[in-house]
Amino acid sequence: RMLVDSQDDMVVVGEAGDGGEALERLGVTSADVVLMDVRMPRLDGVETTRRLLATDDAPRVIVLTTFDLDEYAFAAIRAGASAFLLKDAAPPDLLGAIRAVRAGDAVVAPSTTRRLLDHFAALPDPAGPSTPDDRLALLTEREVEVLTLIARGLTNTEIAADLVVAET
């Protein structure tokens, strides 16, 4: 709070102790950028970010954490966060991130950026040639059909209905 309020171009418009309270306060107070902790009671920062960004005129969200864990970064980014930073970020870095996010840019902690790039680089090239997994050749036509439905995210009940079989 002190760091943000010390800036001529920034003002803290509210604080909350947990995700539920944050959503309540942001329902009646407008903000351009929200600093969101990953770990909070009642409703964690990732789910709070997801819910907040599903609203009209949602602010941009910077997710902060003490823990430099990939799962937090990936979850925050999937939830729509504009930035992922560690709480030990230097004050000029945090202030710069707030300004960058306010301007529409995205920011990721340098220690996390390398791992994100490595993760992205390891993904198959969607434009490249598709090389089927040799293990698929071992499956029957029906097994491939079931696997395809699983890959689409269907539940067991939905798969059974689609295949016109009993769920068991």
Question: Which residues, 6 or more positions from 107, have their beta carbon under 8 angstroms from its beta carbon?
Answer: 62, 82, 83, 84, 85, 96, 97, 100, 101
pLDDT at 129: 63
| Average pLDDT estimate for 48-67 | 91
What spatial distance separates the first Cα and last Cα of the chain, rounded to whole Å?
56
82, 59 contact by CB (below 8 A)? no
> 112-127: per-residue pLDDT in tens?
888 888 877 887 777 7
> 2-53: per-residue pLDDT in tens?
999 999 999 999 999 999 999 999 999 999 999 999 998 889 999 999 999 9
Q: Given a cut of 70, is residue 110 above it in pLDDT?
A: yes
Residue pointed to by tokens 């798969």: 159
Residue pointed to by tokens 């003002």: 11
Tell me what the pLDDT averaged over the chain comes to: 88
Q: Given a cut of 80, is residue 55 above it in pLDDT?
A: yes
pLDDT at 49: 94
pLDDT at 99: 95
Q: Which of 162, 124, 168 shows the shortest CA–CA distance to 145?
A: 162
pLDDT at 114: 81
Q: Given a cut of 90, is residue 66 above it in pLDDT?
A: no
For Cα atoms 40, 38, 29, give the angle at the middle one, nearest 5 degrees: 75
Relative orientation angle of helices 45-53 and 70-78, to the nearest 10 degrees: 10
pLDDT at 69: 72
pLDDT at 117: 81
For the ranges 50-59, 68-77, 82-91, the lowest mean pLDDT is seen at 68-77
pTM for the whole structure: 0.70
83, 62 contact by CB (below 8 A)? yes
Please, what are the domains in the chain? 2-122 (3.40.50.2300), 134-163 (no CATH)
Q: Given a cut of 80, is residue 68 above it in pLDDT?
A: no
CA dist 39 → 13, 36, 67, 146, 160 (Å)? 21, 9, 10, 37, 38
